[in-house]
Structure 1
């Protein structure tokens, strides 16, 4: 129960990480197989994301259009990634999952240089970048079966969203597509 509460706090606070915490708890603590742990984590992540999204909506930290585009393209990418992912053995999936976690953590810890002037991009350019990023995250999530949430927040910050909006928008995406948690 304590571990479950910690997962809920992490997901609500960070906008991701539900699966990267829940899957190891199911596999290492409860002794389930990786695939069973991934499926079981969907329920936990879905419920937590819905509740956390409600709080973020009240704080106006959810960008609805970005979430809709990201969720739709992530879903398409997830289907493609799922078709590819089932051909990988479990140890390979586990290794990829761990490697992506490390790379994402390093990318988020790097200091970002603030531009002297806000970068202006055309709406079509922003839309194309959002679609491409959503597809990329979806493919990775579908192939691995989990991990979208911890990829969505860095991806949204890469697209230029402030961290609070990235967290709130990520929670909505995860609530719409629980497999992305």
Structure 2
């Protein structure tokens, strides 16, 4: 099973390299269900793996002129502030037991996985959605509305990153295309820079609370494999149609999200 997990780590990098997001969607289930890591610690691991891999993939994109810095700042600054506030105040304030009714109780770790699965399903539907709908949305929005929406999406992604360890690429890419009017290749590069910054800030802000629990050898091994994957993903992206790839990835995420909901539901029933 662990051998599969290490191969899956390469797939995380490939996904980031091809579509500029989706790495954390694969990382969290991999860490929790394959390697048996507690979901709360898994969010920190995910931030490190996805953040490091995104830096490695994003910097070459910047040197190639495939990063829109203005849009990255419009999205990134509100997002980073949200990450810091979420990790400092919101995440620690969530109790270990979210809800207790008689014999039923909802633990924090299960709640985070349910939240993550719900986001996966929502993201998958946005990826599968027909591209003609996106074109109509782009035509119907003014420049001011688009700028505001980019910043609000940044805040949303920052909260998400702080809570569940997701870089938010599955939300960033649609926002950059819809409201930033960026071509797919530039959206991918810009997304990688935003994810890298968000994830790094999220990891550093949570490091002091879990420093003694981190298995650095394991974490660096997974990160190295993901970095190998991102270079493979860059190569593949040059040959594959981005729209078709994104839809197929969306279908995979839909299946994974439903699977996680079922697994966590079984946990709740057994409690």
Q: TM over 0.5, yes or no? A: yes
Does residue 110 in structure 1 map to residue 116 in structure 2? Answer: no
Q: Which has the larger radius of gyration?
A: 2
The equivalent of 1:137 in structure 2 is 157
Does residue 177 in structure 1 map to residue 198 in structure 2? Answer: yes
Structure 2 unaligned segments of length 5 or more: list them. Answer: 1-5, 99-107, 204-271
Does residue 162 in structure 1 map to residue 168 in structure 2? Answer: no
| 1:14-25 equivalence runs, <5 A | 14-25=19-30
Cα 1:59–1:8, aligned 2, differ >3 Å: closer, same or farther? same
- Counterpart CA distance in 2 for 1:55 and 1:119 is 34
Q: Is the CA contact 2:46–2:165 (under 8 Å) kept in the aligned structure 1?
A: no
The equivalent of 1:92 in structure 2 is 111
The equivalent of 1:5 in structure 2 is 10
Does residue 48 in structure 1 map to residue 25 in structure 2? Answer: no
Q: How many residues are aligned here?
A: 179
Aligned-residue offset at 1:33: 0.5
* Secondary structure, counterpart of 2:131 in structure 1: coil
Which has the larger share of helix?
Answer: 2
- Counterpart CA distance in 1 for 2:175 and 2:120 is 13
The equivalent of 2:33 in structure 1 is 28
* Secondary structure, counterpart of 1:138 in structure 2: helix
Q: Is the CA contact 1:85–1:144 (under 8 Å) kept in the aligned structure 2?
A: no
Aligned-residue offset at 1:120: 7.5
Of 44-53 and 139-148, deviating more is 139-148
Q: Is the CA contact 1:97–1:147 (under 8 Å) kept in the aligned structure 2?
A: no
* Secondary structure, counterpart of 1:16 in structure 2: coil
* Secondary structure, counterpart of 1:177 in structure 2: helix
* Secondary structure, counterpart of 1:47 in structure 2: helix
Q: Deviations over 1:95-136 (max 9, x none)?
A: 111011111110121113235x966734x4443222122112
Q: Is the CA contact 1:104–1:154 (under 8 Å) kept in the aligned structure 2?
A: no
Cα 1:24–1:67, aligned 2, differ >3 Å: closer, same or farther? same
The alignment's TM-score, normalised by the length of structure 2, stands at 0.59
Structure 1 unaligned segments of length 5 or more: list them. Answer: none
Q: Deviations over 1:14-61 (max 9, x none)?
A: 111222212222111111111111111222212211111133224422
